[in-house]
Amino acid sequence: MKKLIYILIIQAIALSFSGCDYINTPKNHYVSLYNNESDKYITSVYYRDYYYGEDRWSRNVIGSYIYPYESFDMILEEGTYDFKVFMEDDYYSYELGFYSVYVYENVTLDVCYDCYDKKSNIKVTKTPKENKKSD
């Protein structure tokens, strides 16, 4: 009888812990990219976990361009992320780096080239496009 009681107690403990998976599972949140430019379109978006360092960027997460005043939503687990956003217009290519973005609730990244001159966690690079000569 004592063996049966011990077995039942062990099973009850095992069942109580198996029902607590939600404690270890991180929550997911929306990260929205909003193109707040009138004449630039977003060509690609990459992200990485902040703790991975200088490599391990994701693949391009958008399937097509994000045109002016459009947005794109993705779902990420809770955590801290870096994002690279590439934009273009007729004359320039732009790379915007959003670093140390906290995703512990739904987040919107407002993508605007002229808006980020003085913010420390956003790096902007502007590169002129080469003019192609037609034959």
Q: Contact 120/112 with Cβ under 8 angstroms?
A: no
Q: Which residue has the higher pLDDT, 12 or 128?
A: 128
Give the tens place of pLDDT for each residue, 32-65. Answer: 999 999 999 999 999 998 877 667 899 999 989 9
Question: What's the Cα-to-Cα distance from 112 to each of 31, 119, 132, rounded to whole Å?
Answer: 16, 12, 27
- 79 within domain boundaries: yes
Q: What is the pLDDT of residue 26?
A: 74
- 85 within domain boundaries: yes
Residues in contact with 57: Cβ distance below 8 Å, sequence separation at least 6, in sequence order: 46, 47, 48, 84
> Does the pLDDT at position 22 exceed 60?
no
DSSP symbol at 113:
G
* 90-108 average pLDDT score: 93
- 15 within domain boundaries: no
Give the tens place of pLDDT for each residue, 65-84. Answer: 999 999 999 999 999 999 99
Question: What's the Cα-to-Cα distance from 32 to each of 24, 72, 75, 83, rounded to whole Å?
Answer: 25, 6, 9, 12
Note down the domain range covering 39. 27-128
- The predicted model scores a pTM of 0.74
The CA distance from 7 to 2, in Å, is 9
Q: What is the pLDDT of residue 15?
A: 62
Facing residues of 35 across strands? 111
Rounded mean pLDDT of the chain? 84
- 9 within domain boundaries: no
The CA distance from 34 to 70, in Å, is 6
Q: What is the pLDDT of residue 24?
A: 63
Closest to 72 (Cα-Cα) out of 27, 38, 104, 107: 107
- 12 within domain boundaries: no
- 32 within domain boundaries: yes
- Which CATH number goes with the domain that contains 36? 2.60.40
E strand or H helix at 134: none
Number of domains in the chain: 1
- 107 within domain boundaries: yes
- 133 within domain boundaries: no
